[in-house]
């Protein structure tokens, strides 16, 4: 049996290290087979003070592909034995 992680995620308590702007929780999720980093903040409603969690999702970025090096042909590296002059 294969386990499908699609449409699932997890959050863990985050060490804010003295920075109140850091999320209270961090984790990851898979949504429509795309990996996301998830951040969560515990907030209080301005209306009645009830607590809720605000979430932010950011797609995980794949490692950037290295640009291909193009070889520049010069007189020194040009060789073609099929051309007769």
Is 72 within a domain? no
Cα pseudo-dihedral 48, 10, 34, 40, rounded to 10: 30
Is 69 within a domain? no
Ranges of beta strands (E only) in 1-85 are: 8-13, 25-31, 34-44, 51-59
Is 20 within a domain? yes
Per-residue pLDDT tens for 14-28? 998 999 999 999 999
Is 39 within a domain? yes
DSSP string, 41-53: EEEE-TTT--EEE
Is 2 within a domain? no
Q: The domain containing residue 19 runs over which residues? A: 8-59
Is 26 within a domain? yes
Model confidence at 4: pLDDT above 90: no
Name the token pair of 47.
């209306």
Is 76 within a domain? no
Per-residue pLDDT tens for 8-67? 999 999 998 999 999 999 999 999 999 999 999 999 999 999 999 999 999 998 766 666
Number of structural domains in the chain? 1
């Amino acid at each position: 049996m294969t386990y499908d992680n699609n449409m699932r995620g997890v959050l863990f308590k985050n060490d804010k290290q003295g920075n109140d702007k850091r999320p209270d929780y961090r984790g990851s999720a898979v949504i429509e087979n795309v990996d996301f980093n998830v951040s969560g903040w515990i907030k209080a409603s301005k209306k009645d003070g009830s607590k809720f969690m605000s979430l932010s999702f950011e797609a995980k970025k794949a490692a950037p592909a290295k640009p291909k090096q193009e070889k520049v042909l010069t007189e020194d590296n040009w060789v073609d034995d099929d051309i007769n002059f």
